[in-house]
Amino acid sequence: MSCNIPKTENKRVVIVGGGFGGLKIARKLVKSNYQVVLVDKNNYHHFPPLIYQVASSGIEPSNIAFPFRKIFQKRKNFYFRLAEVTGILPQEKAIVTTIGNISYDYLVLAAGTTTNFFGNQQIQAKAMPMKTLTEAMGLRNVLLQRLEQALVCANPQERQALLNVVIVGGGATGVEIAGALSEMKNFILPKDYPDLPNSLMNIYLIESQPRLLAAMSQKSSDNVLKYLRSMGVNVLLNQRVNDYRDGVALINDGSTIATQTLIWVTGVMAQQVENMPAEVISRGGRIVVDAYNQVKGMENVYCIGDQCIMPQVDMQWEQGHPQLAQVAIQQGTLLAKNLKRMAKGKPLKPFKYKNLGTMATVGRNKAVAEFAGMKMGGFMAWVMWLVVHLRSILGVRNKFIVFINWMINYFNYSQSLRLILWARNENK
Domain boundary among 290, 311, 343: 343
Q: Give the three-state DSSP class for 106.
A: strand
Is residue 203 within 8 Å of 149, Cβ to Cβ? no
Q: Indicate if 132 and 45 belong to the same structural domain.
A: no
Same domain as 238, residue 201: yes
Whether residues 130 and 243 fall in one domain: yes
Judgement on whether residues 99 and 126 belong to the same structural domain of the protein: no
Q: Residue 1: its pLDDT value, please?
A: 54
**Is 108 in the same domain as 221?**
no
Q: Of 320-324, 325-329, 371-375, which gets the smallest average pLDDT?
A: 371-375
Instruction: Indicate whether 316 pLDDT > 80.
Output: no
Kind of pairing between the strands at 164-168 and 202-207: parallel
Residue range 150-181, pLDDT digits in tens: 999 999 999 999 999 999 999 999 999 999 99
Is residue 428 very low, low, confident or very high in pLDDT (cuts 50, 70, 90)? very low
Q: How many other CB atoms sit within 10 Å of the CB of residue 221?
A: 22
Query: What whole-number percentage of the chain has pLDDT above 70?
Result: 95
Residues 283 and 228 in one domain: no
- What are the backbone angles phi and psi of residue 15, rounded to the nearest 5°? -115, 125
Mean pLDDT of 366-395: 88
Mean pLDDT value across residues 100-128: 95
147, 240: one domain: yes
Q: φ and ψ at 334, to 5 degrees? A: -70, -40
Q: Is 245 exposed, middle or buried (0-12, 13-18, 19+ CB in 10 A)?
A: exposed
In a domain, 305, yes or no: yes
Question: Looking at the 3D structure of the chain, how many domains does it have?
Answer: 2
The set of residues, in sequence order, having a beta carbon less than 8 Å from that of 337 and lying 6+ positions away, is 28, 349
Q: Indicate if 255 and 293 belong to the same structural domain.
A: no
One-character DSSP codes across 237-280 = ES--EEEEETTEEEETTS-EEE-SEEEE-S-EEEPP-BT--GGG
* Segments in 152-217 forming alpha helices (H): 156-163, 172-183, 189-192
Separation of alpha carbons 94 and 99, rounded Å: 13
User: Please, which pLDDT band fits residue 424 given cuts at 50, 70 and 90?
Assistant: low
Residue 195 in any domain: the answer is yes
Q: What distance in Å separates the CA atoms of residue 254 and residue 114, rounded to the nearest whole number?
A: 29
Assess if residue 423 is contained within a domain.
Answer: no
Give the residues across from 40 on adjacent strands.
Answer: 82
- For residue 275, the domain's CATH number is 3.50.50.60
Q: What is the mean pLDDT of residues 141-149?
A: 95
User: Looking at the structure, do residues 144 and 247 belong to the same domain, yes or no?
Assistant: yes
Whether the full predicted model's pTM is greater than 0.85, yes or no, is yes
Say if residue 355's pLDDT is above 90.
no
- 33 and 63 share a domain? yes
Are the C-beta atoms of residues 182 and 203 closer than 8 Å to each other?
yes
In a domain, 364, yes or no: no
Q: What is the span of the domain harbouring residue 37?
A: 12-115+269-343
pLDDT of 426 reads 47
Q: 64-92, pLDDT tens digit by residue?
A: 899 999 999 988 899 999 999 999 999 99
Confidence of residue 2 (pLDDT cuts 50, 70, 90): low
370 contacts 216 by C-beta, under 8 angstroms: yes
- Whether residue 44 sits in one domain with residue 30: yes
Query: Does 21 fall in a domain?
Result: yes
Residues 109 and 43 in one domain: yes
Residue 236: inside a domain: yes
Dist CA 381 CA 366 (whole Å): 7
Categorize the per-residue pLDDT at 342 as very low, low, confident or very high, splitting at 50, 70 and 90. Answer: very high
